[in-house]
Amino acid sequence: MGPILASIARATGSGVSNGSASPPPPPPQHTQGATNGCLLPAAMSSPRRPGSQPSRGGRTPWSPCGERGRLPPVNRCVGMVMWGQQPSPEAPGLEDSLCAIAVVGRSCALYPRLPARDGGGTLPSHDAAQASAPCGRDAEGRALGSFQLGHQDNIPSCTPVQRALMSLTPSLEKLQVVKCRMLEAMDKGLSQETHAQAAVRMLPTFICSTPDGTEKGDLMVVELCQSHVRTLFVTLLGDGNQSPQLTYKIFEMPADMLQGTGEALFDFIAQCVHKFLEEIGTPQHRLPLGFVFPFSCRQTGLGKAELISWSKGFQCSDVEGKDVVQLLQAAINKLELYHVQVIALLNDTVGTMMASSWGGKPCEIALVMGTGTNSCFMAEAELVEVVEESNGRMCVNSEWGCFGDDGALSDVLTPYDHRVDQESSNPGERRFEKMVGGLYLGEIVRHAMLMLAAEQALFIGASTSVLGNKDAFKTQQVLEIMDNETGMAKARSALEALGLQPSERDCCRVQQICRAVVSRAAALSATGLAAILSLMCRSRELERLVVNVGVDGELYRAHARFGEILQSVAGLLAPECTATLVPSADTNGRGVAMVTAVAQRLLTQRHEVEQLLAPLRLSRVDLERVQALMRQEMERGLGRDSNVDASVRMLPTYVCNTPDGTERGDFLALDLGGTNFRVLVVRVMQEGIHMASEIYIVPTSVMQGTGEALFDHIIECIMDFQTKQNLMEQVLPLGFTFSFPCQQLGLDKAVLLTWTKGFSASGCVGQDVVQLLRDAAQRKQHVALKVVAVVNDTVGTMMACGYDDPKCEIGLIVGTGTNACYMEERKNVGTVEGDEGRMCINMEWGAFGDNGCLDDIFTTFDRMVDEKTINAGKQRFEKLISGMYLGEIVRHILLAMVDKQLLFRGKPSLKLQTRDIFQTKFLSTIETDGLALQQVQGILRDLELDASFEDSMLVREVCQTVSLRAAQLCAAGLAAVVEKMRENRGLAQLAITVGVDGTLYKMHPHFSQNLQQMLRDLAPNCAVTFLQSEDGSGKGAALVAAVACRETSP
């Protein structure tokens, strides 16, 4: 089952209302999904399946989707079908035909004899009697009969007219089935695997935004119509699109052009553009042009589309399979109109959506119900598998006129539909359109009359041969006949014009047939709309979808009842959605102009965004240069004479071996790096490592007091821990993780260079921290203390992972800060004596670039962040990579975009101007795969940012750009390390493991993947495995002590 069918509509209250563009109508009235007092047709309470049990309340559950998914029954009362047993004085001769048919909801009629939704009118007395009956029973308590065609349970034998009307009146249950099939067809059209075979093509339009009111400037539209070309010049003022200035002209097209050459057609269109621009005297600045091309195209971009096939009488040669945008641009260029650029191609359905709005919100769905029918809607881009774009939304052109070409409508089609199809120019194709489109409704009525006449149910005694002529009865006549006041007279006039000499009864029956045909078209259109609504609601993960629907087409405009049925049935079939139907304002191409304007706005915006983000997007050459610079600074840091001037200090740690698995015993570890510190006991045994630990607090008064008080407090905590663990009688080796800047002079000797992280204890800077700890132990008379090693967290990470993987000889931290260490050949370490073996080097690479070697990598945003830090000009590499700074970089970029009116409609946000308000954890959340943009909007809303859908996409792009650069720079630094190790060891290929820790690496959804991919590119001769550390600062410190003890043991 496809993803669309996985979500089934919930039977709750719903609303579909009518809105209008001008003048503003009263507040929309929403259709409710549940009503009382109406009869439920027998066709809606399907027979119980063998072995099934009735649900609570005695009602049998049903599933129109069969095994593919369960659709719940619509709420208690959804409609009724009433049969008239007596002649009606208003409509003589109805004793054997269907009277009032199918009420939807409380009072909105599918058929015009019943009152409107807001009615106040009353039903005829026999109707009222049935309406007051219990659900599913008639006025005398009898079960209603089945209204399936040909069934005659408890009702008089059906006459031919009754059968005709019933066949043209699908039940609500059947419409639920059709909706389910439409969803399945849409699912196939969206899927990469089944798109080519799908009946409903779901073509991407590459329109990813709706108007936001900021569009401004001059633009042009060219529309290819059936018999003419329309040109339109539009000036938008950036005033919310309230007062566009429009000028247009229509050029009649020679009739033979439809069957001529493609070159002649496009040359003619270009000449129309040329003549129009000459007449209006437009300036010679760049003029974007939108091209309305109402034929089925395979679109691969907003301005790139190949014609799939001609229709509507066109058959120009040498166009199918070619890019029609290029053909038009080439024809325009031949006339030297080089300032006119075709930037967008679209169809009229998309124009309807873009032209319409309600309540200050644009439409996200459009329906066209005219000569033909179609729909489009803003789909989640991740659903449109046939395009690479997976973020945001994209307008999808459903091409739903072809729904049913695969047989999905076979049980809905009537004999009249089959005859219309057989006589068409494309039998077997566009079956849905042939039931809904205005081009065919007159033909359906004609065939119904012809078949009823053959059964002696119409025009008795008259010659009806004229009804055998195709197009003898027009859809316009059908619409006129439906009118309550003049319909009978129109019916008589139309039928007499055909020489049929109709009786009063004939006119009345023809009127009923016309109403049934048009009402069915409206109900089927509503079914398609309901499928779109449910799909949008599910894919956006909403409890309730509230959306505007632009509607256009002769059927919708000319027949008010069509819109009433559309809104009522859609509300019943998609009760989880509230939709406002907005009549299209596109009477002069405004919608097409808006598409072009939005395309131009997005192109301009994209250009400015690319310019803004370009300095943060590093090329392969940039990263190779960073790698070379890192290698250069590493060499300088290792040199005895150059170390002082190197930005990468390359500090020796005196850790000369990694774990080999033979380490055994119990060890203490102390981890001091902030307001909390830990004491651990680590037991290294053959079967593995076991740890116990406790966290202690360092009070602020101790952090900022004397050094003696600080280290006395640490010893007291160690003694408390050893007492609780029954270790006071044992002298255990201790590894000390001391995460402050130190100059290490030996494995157990490290001089504090400066305090950070809020510490300022006096008498410590310039002192050996291990000796300070030993002195405190003596003061406290704690003799069971043996400090054998002092390390930082990076070395601890390498050692902790080295216990699990002997190939781990690199440690990497990417969290709040960043650093790296690795095992260097001792002969290359000029700052210590000795040439044998290896020694772990603490690179302190966060300071890389402090000497200015990375100045051209630093952007304006990086400098803004650096200037506000407490160590401006220091730790510059760290400020490009680590979690402490990425959120601030993003915040400064967003402020620049607001200033350029690229974000949040240029409205400044006081909260966004607050330092550190945009935390790095937001990057991890916003970049999470599958996170709906509504959730991104929620994050931004918490920051008091009124973000549109497009704003959320842009914020995500900024986050992705900043985090990608951080990962790639980290990879460049690591590539310098692994390549140096490979060359040191004289290997063609190096296999090495990196022990890694840090919240950015572990928690960001893409950082690790981006780092590893770029490392493979920059160091192709090194096979690097990443192993995440578990407690490097605790377990790692203990393992440093364990390795030290192993080396000194006899």
CB 906 within 8 A of CB 896: no
The residues near 999 (Cβ < 8 Å, ≥ 6 apart) are: 815, 816, 883
Alpha helix stretches (DSSP H) within 455-503: 475-481, 487-497
| Residue that the structure tokens 């296999």 belong to | 991
Q: Choosing from 106, 538, 678, 982, which is the catalytic residue?
A: 678
Among this protein's residues, is 243 annotated catalytic? Answer: no
Q: Give the separation between CA 632 and CA 653, rounded to whole angstroms.
A: 21
Side chain identity at residue 385, one-letter code: E
Check residue 581 and report its DSSP letter. Answer: E
Check residue 587 and report its DSSP letter. Answer: S
What tokens appear for 611 in the block?
């310019």
Longest dimension (CA), the chain: 126
Edge-to-edge strand ranges of the sheet holding 373-380: 15-18, 577-583, 545-552, 365-369, 373-380, 393-397, 203-204
Q: Choosing from 17, 191, 739, 952, which is the catalytic residue?
A: 739
Burial letters for 847-886: b for 16+ Cβ neighbours within 10 Å, e otherwise?
A: bbbbeebbeebbbebbebbbeeeeeeeebbbbbbbbbbbb
Question: According to the 3-state scheme, what is the secondary structure of 328-352?
Answer: HHHHHHHCCCCCEEEEEEECHHHHH
Q: Choosing from 187, 405, 421, 793, which is the catalytic residue?
A: 793
The residues near 910 (Cβ < 8 Å, ≥ 6 apart) are: 944
The residues near 817 (Cβ < 8 Å, ≥ 6 apart) are: 846, 875, 878, 882, 884
**233 phi/psi in degrees, rounded to 5:** -115, 130
Question: According to the 3-state scheme, what is the secondary structure of 962-1028?
Answer: HHHHHHHHHHHHHHHHHHHHHHHCCCCCEEEEEEEECHHHHHCCCHHHHHHHHHHHHCCCEEEEEEE
Among this protein's residues, is 793 annotated catalytic? Answer: yes
**204 phi/psi in degrees, rounded to 5:** -70, 140
CB 907 within 8 A of CB 898: yes
Closest by CA position to 100, among listed 90, 88, 87, 113: 113
What three-state secondary structure class fits 722? helix
Among this protein's residues, is 739 annotated catalytic? Answer: yes
Check residue 409 and report its DSSP letter. Answer: T
145, 694, 706, 765, 843 from 701: Cα distances, Å: 88, 21, 9, 18, 33
End-to-end CA distance of the chain: 69
**889 phi/psi in degrees, rounded to 5:** -60, -45
Q: Give the separation between CA 474 and CA 554, rounded to whole angstroms.
A: 13
- Catalytically active residues are 678, 739, 793
